[in-house]
A and B are shown apart, each in its own frame.
Chain A
Amino acid sequence: MNNKRINLLVDTVRMILIIAIAVALVFLIVFLTSKDPLNAIYSFFIGPFTSVRRIGNIVEAASPLMFTALAVIIIFRSGLFSMISEGSFFIGILGAMIIGISCPLPAVIHPIVAILVAGLCGAVVASIPAALKMKWDVSEVVTSIMLNYVVQFFAIYMVSYHFRETQSSSLASLLLRDTSKLSVLIKGTRVHSGIIIAFALCIICYIFLQHTRLGFKIRIVGDNAYFAKNIGINVRTIMFLAQIFAGFIAGVGGGAELLGMYTRFKWTATPGYGWTGIVVALLARRNPILVPLGALFIGYMNVGADIMSRSSDVSREVVYIIQGVMMLLIASESLLQDWRQSLIVKEAKKEEMQHLETGNEKEII
């Protein structure tokens, strides 16, 4: 077993352990609080698989998370902790809504334009904390979170003052034009073509990070900014570009979500996909190609929680508790670190023994 395989083994066991803890926690909470725990547990874990529509729900729930998780991954890989994907996603919804309502365009072109505008809006919002960081070294964590609130109020202002459906008593925008909608892929569900964009972006981001010059620079900057600076990479510019790119992806996600799932804008607060995207990004071990798996898992838990809250007395907020705990556990770098260390040491000793026995020095480099 070489180090690579040891790491893979430890990481896999670690992930299984974390998911087991999460599942155990669901059991614990349900048995502590529910009057009919078995029914609740059944709805949570089995419920999402009982019909095609519900399996569709899992994919629908995973779709926005894939976009925000990709945005989070690109930002984190550049060594920053901007939380802007929440704001970029929401402004993306707004951008797509404006195009979807007010621009008469032919069928296929309409959603493409709307989603591109959504992406641009997301990039513009992400550029604010990015520029402040680049120019004056302002902490991106706090500014991005503050900006999320600003974006939320701005979007609600735009809807309620300029695009409001006056017939409706609650806050809702005018209807989107039919030409702007994304087509449904699977009959009987609401799985829309936005999911294709999401999968494509996972692959594009993977190639971008692993096989392009800019992606390579982003990774170097994130791994060791000091080293990057010394080999002549403009660290600040790279960080700036990474955030813009991430904002664009999150914005596209917002646009795809609106045009694929809704007929009008009805949010009164940001939906929180940016925050959940962090959990997905961590689950995927910051690797774009694993994002669909992480997103489907979190999507599954969300759908399970929804079904459980409808069919039993346990509320869906359980899922946020679980997500928080999972985030804590995945972020804990020392978890199982001792085991990994002892495996590596054991392996090294074995190799040394072999080396002594055979006396062949060429085998060991």
Chain B
Amino acid sequence: MSSLLSYILSADFLYMWIRVATPILFPALGAVICERAGVVNLGLEGIMLISALFGVLGSYFFDGLIPGMLVGILASVVISCIFAYFHLVLHADNVLCGTAINTLASGLTVFLLELVTGEKGTSASVKSYSFPTVNLPYIQDIPVVGHILSGHNLLTYLAIVAVFLVWFFVYKTPVGLRIRAVGENPNAASSVGISVIKMRFLAIILCGVLAGFGGMYLSMGYLSMFTRDMTAGRGFIALAACAMGHATPVGAFLSALVFAFFDGLSNILQVLRMPAEFVQMLPYVATILGLTLFSIQQGMQKKHKNQS
């Protein structure tokens, strides 16, 4: 047990913690924008999966990282538009709509994967590009801290920058204000001439771009290939992180770190003599517990408000 503790406190673990937090942080930030506009985007899982595959295929067909990234983003925007159109214009319930997108994405990715590579499991047989790792100047020379903070994937740093960008967008720009107005009170917002559908459409597309980076991080950073259903529930964990962070960018960032901690823990616990299946359960159990604690606290706050 003490060896476990020392491992958790080691620089290697802290490095990995940041690494596994990235694919939760991106979609969680996207979920924040959506939630602010009054939409719970349950299609995050599918959107991530689609962009994870299209990033890989794009970089393979156009032989380059940038085209791959553009294809990946384009794919996630297209699938987000489908979600938005059905949810906002045709009034499909967001849970059903999200589930449909996830089903579609799971099937479509395997279908296309087999069409291109002839295999159903992974894209290992095609040569695709990955986002580069970045060594931060000066910081990398600091002992321990340098080892933890430097040498991450480009997208990891982008995710951290995105926390500030999303914060700035939501709180400091006119469009962000309109999005929040639409989420807070759609009737009031539309009475002063803000189009509720347009704002929500925009929020879903922006969310799609962020989720798209999250998906591409999985297949072009965390791993260097696409594997079937590789998102493994991260889209839903991101939704939980968004809710726990009270739909604020910084809150979502902190919650994403909490969930990523258990994800990281499940990576290192495999060295212990514990059934692998229990270790693999950990991130999901942590999400259930996290949401429960959050809801208990919400309930207590509500009670408190009612009393005073």
Contacts and interface: CB of A to CB of B under 8 A. Distances in A.
Contacts of A160: 277
Interface string A67-92: 00000000000000101000000000
Interface string A16-35: 00000000000001000100
Contact of B288 (A29, A147, A335): A147
Given A33-B115, A333-B91, A324 B103 contact: yes
A306 to B, nearest CB: 14
Nearest to B83: A328
B96 A278 contact: yes
B42 interface: yes
Given A331-B100, A335-B90, A142 B278 contact: no
Nearest to B104: A324
A150 B280 CA distance: 8
B136 interface: no
B86 interface: yes
Interface in B274-302: 275, 277-278, 280-281, 284-285, 287-288, 291-292, 295-296, 298-299
A137 B285 CA distance: 18
- Interface centre among A33, A142, A157, by most B CB within 10 Å? A142
A22 B201 CA distance: 26
Given A141-B95, A275-B103, A317 B110 contact: yes
Contacts of A325: 100, 104
A339 interface: no
B277 A137 contact: no
B238 to A, nearest CB: 10
A214 interface: no
B100 A136 contact: no
A142 B236 contact: yes
A331 B299 CA distance: 32
B275 A282 contact: no
Contacts of A150: 281, 284-285, 288
* Main secondary structure on A side of the interface with B: helix
Contact of A145 (B103, B106, B236): B236
A321 B287 contact: no
Nearest to B286: A146
A138 B295 contact: yes
B195 interface: no
A136 to B, nearest CB: 4
A235 to B, nearest CB: 16
A335 B91 CA distance: 9
Contact of B99 (A136, A138, A275, A315): A275
A157 B92 contact: no
Contacts of B92: 328, 331-333
Interface string A156-184: 11001100000000000000000000000
A334 B93 CA distance: 11
Interface residues of B, number: 48
Interface string B99-121: 11111111110110011000010
A332 to B, nearest CB: 4
Nearest to B298: A137
B64 interface: no
Contacts of B42: 141
A132 B95 contact: no
A359 to B, nearest CB: 41
Contacts of B32: none
B272 interface: no
A149 interface: yes
A149 B281 contact: yes
- Interface centre among B99, B103, B232, B287, by most A CB within 10 Å? B103
A320 B104 contact: yes
Contact of A282 (B96, B287, B299): B96
- Interface centre among B91, B104, B232, by most A CB within 10 Å? B104
B73 interface: no
Given A324-B104, A333-B91, A334-B91, A146 B233 contact: yes
A332 B90 contact: yes
B239 interface: yes
A36 B96 CA distance: 35
Contacts of A319: 107
Interface string B217-248: 00000000000000011001101100100000
B271 interface: no
B1 interface: no
B97 interface: yes
Contacts of B232: 149
A227 interface: no
- Interface centre among A161, A275, A315, by most B CB within 10 Å? A315
B89 interface: yes
B108 to A, nearest CB: 5
A154 interface: yes
Interface string B244-275: 00000000000000000000000000000001
B162 to A, nearest CB: 22
A332 B91 contact: yes
Contact of A136 (B239, B285, B295): B295
14 contacts: A83-B99, A141-B95, A143-B287, A157-B275, A157-B278, A315-B120, A320-B103, A327-B103, A331-B93, A331-B96, A332-B92, A333-B91, A333-B93, A334-B91
Given A137-B299, A328-B86, 14 more contacts: A83-B99, A145-B233, A149-B232, A157-B277, A161-B275, A278-B96, A282-B96, A315-B114, A320-B103, A323-B103, A323-B107, A325-B104, A331-B97, A335-B90
Interface of A: 29, 33, 81, 83, 132, 136-139, 141-143, 145-147, 149-150, 153-154, 156-157, 160-161, 275, 278-279, 282, 315, 317-321, 323-325, 327-328, 331-335
